[in-house]
Amino acid sequence: MSAITLVEAVTQALAYELKHDKNVVLMGEDVGVNGGVFRATAGLQEKFGSDRVMDTPLAESMIAGVGIGMATQGMRPVCEIQFMGFIYPCVDQIINHAARLRNRTRGRLTCPMVIRAPFGGGIHAPEHHSESTEAIFAHMPGVRVVIPSSPARAYGLLLAAIRDPDPVIFLEPKRIYRLVKQEVPDDGKALPLDTCFVLREGTDITLITWGAMTHETMQVAEQLAHDGISAEVIDVATIKPLDTDSILQSVAKTGRCVIIHEAARTCGVGAEIAAQISEKALDRLHAPVLRVTGYDTVMPYYKQEDIFMPSVQRIRDSVDVALAY
């Protein structure tokens, strides 16, 4: 078994489900002949045919709408949107139809579809290619929002998303598509949705993050360990619905918390996590809950991305503030 990247783990999961479930189909712009803009579907049309891996017109609303129709008829469509910045034409279909279908039909119909989208900055792309607006979808009742942060979690969580009976927004942090490699058995074993992953256990402070920012956060945890400080690192993974219990258990143990995300600060998912902690674990806190985030502006172009996104130093500075209380 060879080590693979996160994007290769996505390909591996898609291939597994195409092979083992005849109702799974892939669709999106350039996913077939070209294998996707990031090559996440490379070779899949050749292997499974153009009726299972389908190129579509440049029409995101149509992709989502057709996917919903397929899902109501027993299929399991996996729809790729090339970049998260192009996902907004899908919002009407997602909010008004996919998210409401189970409730609208009183459970007679569900919408087992996945919408995949590369998201986040860090590859020096123009503004519409660097969005981190996961909070928009986390606010929608009726959809799950899942964000992997490693090859193994990408494989297991994508399998779970495809098998879920309800719609899942599956956001892939493209900055780490090829950052690291990991051995990932192609055994078809899904990881649990709606569950945080504790990447590192600790007793002095809780660091909460997801997606690409897990890597900077783990670097900070290593720094802290060298200084004799024990940091617990939590990868939220499913930001909707939120595994509040795991977060509260960690904060109750450590008494301090820093939340790290790349998205803009105001109304971000970090604000919801901070509110949950304040409402349910205020008496266990030794310091205010702090956030290290992107800024309330459009992602700047090219090298200015590095200023926008939380750095190891910015995270460490907030940790030091929390520990000083």
SS3 (DSSP) at 271: helix
Q: What is the DSSP letter of 295?
A: -
How much is the pTM?
0.97
| 94/204 same-domain check | no
| 147/18 same-domain check | yes
Contact 116, 154 (CB under 8 A): no
| 232/155 same-domain check | no
Joined together, the tokens standing for residue 23 give: 């109702």
The separation between the first and the last C-alpha atoms of the chain, rounded to the nearest angstrom, is 48
As a whole number of angstroms, the distance between CA 325 and CA 322 comes to 6
Q: Across the 325 residues of the chain, what is the mean pLDDT of every consecutive 10-residue run?
A: 95 98 98 97 98 98 98 97 96 97 94 97 86 96 98 98 98 97 98 98 98 98 98 98 98 98 97 98 98 93 86 98 97
SS3 (DSSP) at 232: strand
Its domain, for residue 47, covers 3-183
| 319/213 same-domain check | yes
> Is 188 a member of any domain?
no
| 258/176 same-domain check | no
> Is 192 a member of any domain?
no
Q: What is the pLDDT at residue 325?
A: 93
Please count the residues of the chain: 325
| 177/214 same-domain check | no
What is the percent of the chain where pLDDT is above 70?
100
Joined together, the tokens standing for residue 250 give: 């960690």
| 41/169 same-domain check | yes
> Is 273 a member of any domain?
yes
| 218/151 same-domain check | no
Burial class (CB in 10 A: 0-12, 13-18, 19+), 125: middle
Q: What is the pLDDT at residue 1?
A: 76
As a whole number of angstroms, the distance between CA 290 and CA 146 comes to 23
Catalytic residues: 129
Q: Largest Cα–Cα distance of the chain, in whole Å?
A: 60
The enclosing domain of 294 has a CATH number of 3.40.50.920
Residue type, 43: G
Residue type, 236: V
| 175/235 same-domain check | no
Q: What is the pLDDT at residue 302?
A: 73
The enclosing domain of 97 has a CATH number of 3.40.50.970
How many Å separate Cα 294 from the centre of its chain? Answer: 16
| 13/130 same-domain check | yes
> Is 189 a member of any domain?
no
As a whole number of angstroms, the distance between CA 89 and CA 60 comes to 6
Q: What angle do CA 239, 160, 72 make, to 5 degrees?
A: 95
SS3 (DSSP) at 204: coil
Closest by Cα among 161, 125, 158 to 143:
161
Q: What is the pLDDT at residue 127?
A: 76
| 280/248 same-domain check | yes
Contact 102, 144 (CB under 8 A): no
> Is 191 a member of any domain?
no
Boundary of a domain, candidates 150, 183, 216: 183
> Is 20 a member of any domain?
yes
Q: What is the pLDDT at residue 296?
A: 96
> Is 152 a member of any domain?
yes
Q: What is the pLDDT at residue 160?
A: 98
> Is 254 a member of any domain?
yes
| 140/165 same-domain check | yes
The domain total for the chain is: 2
Q: What is the pLDDT at residue 300?
A: 85
